[in-house]
Structure 1
Amino acid sequence: MMGTVAFAEVQTPVGPFVLAVTEVGLAATGWGARTHPGERLSDLTAVDDPGRTAFAVAELNAYFAGDLRTFETPIDWRLTSGSRRQVLKTLHGIPYGTAVTYGELAERSGSRVPARGIGSIMGSNPIPIVVPCHRVVAGNGLGGFSGGEGVETKRWLLTHEGYLQPTLLDL
C-alpha cells in the first residue's frame, strides 16, 4: 500500500484526540500521543498537510461543541476487512443520540459475528467517535469501552449526545 497520511490533534473534553487522514479519508483516530494511530499506518509516508485534516478537525470540534450530529468526513476503511468492516460500516450508520446492543449490531450487520465478537470489534475500532463504538451498549448496562478513560469516556459521550441523562456528578 503506497500513499501518505497527515495527522492532526484535537483537544477535546475527553482528552487529546489524534486523527490520521489519507488521500482517501479518515483512516484512524485515537486518544493520546500523536503517534498512536500512525502505528497502524506505518506503510504510509507522513506528511505535514493541515489542509487535508482541516475538515475532519472542524467536524470533531463541532461535534464536541454540540453543533454536529452526523459526520460527513470521508472514511478510508483500509484498516478493516471482512466481517469487521461489515460491522463497522453498519455501526457508522447508528444515529447520534441512540444506541444499540452488541446483539442488535450483530443482527443488523448480517455478519454472523456473535455479540461477544462484536465487543472485540468495538475494542479494535480504528476510528472511534466518527465510527461510534460508544453507541454500542450491553443488554444490561453500558458495557466496556477501550478509548480515553474507558467506561467514563463512554458515559461522557453518551451523555453529551443525550442518550444518557446527566448525573449529579455531571452538574
Structure 2
Amino acid sequence: MTPEEWAEIDKRRQENEAARLAAMTPWTYRDDVDPMTDKLTRWACTTSTNRALLERPYEPVTADLCLRQSPRYGLDAIVQLNGSGQILCRSYDGCTLKIRFGDGAQQSFSGASAADGSSNVVFITNASRFITATKNAPTTKIQMTFYRAGDQVLEFNTQKLEWPRPAN
C-alpha cells in the first residue's frame, strides 16, 4: 500500500471513531412490565459525573437522575443516591432544589420525599417542566441538602435525552 492509501484508511478509522463517540449517550433506558397489569413503565437514567461528599457514617456517593413514565404513578423526575446517605427533604413540607440547566440561571424546584420514607431519594415536582429544560441542556446541576454535609451540587450529563421514549 502507498502512504496515501494508509493515510486514507487512517482517516476513515478516525471518522468512524468520531461517529461512534458522537452516537454514545449518557442515558440508559429500560422498560418494566407490571406483572399484575401487564402495563409498561418506561425509564431513562443518567449517573452524576461527580460525588456528594457525605460525612460519616456515609461514604462519598454518586446519584442517578431518572425519568419515569408509569401508568400507576404518572410522570416523575427522581434523584436517587447510589448508596447510603440522607437527602434532607421532609415528608410533611418537602424541600427546595436549586437546579441549573447548562449555562442558564439557577431555578428553584420543589422536591418531595419518597412515599416509602427512603431518605436517599427525592422526587422533583413539576417533572414536565424539569424534563423540557433537561432536554435542551448538555448538563444539569442539582443542589440538594444532605444530612450533616450541607448543600452540595451533583452534576449530570444530560445531552442526547430521548424523551418521551419512542415505542418499541
- TM normalised by structure 1 equals 0.25
Of structures 1 and 2, the larger Rg is shown by 2
Higher strand share: 2
- TM normalised by structure 2 equals 0.25
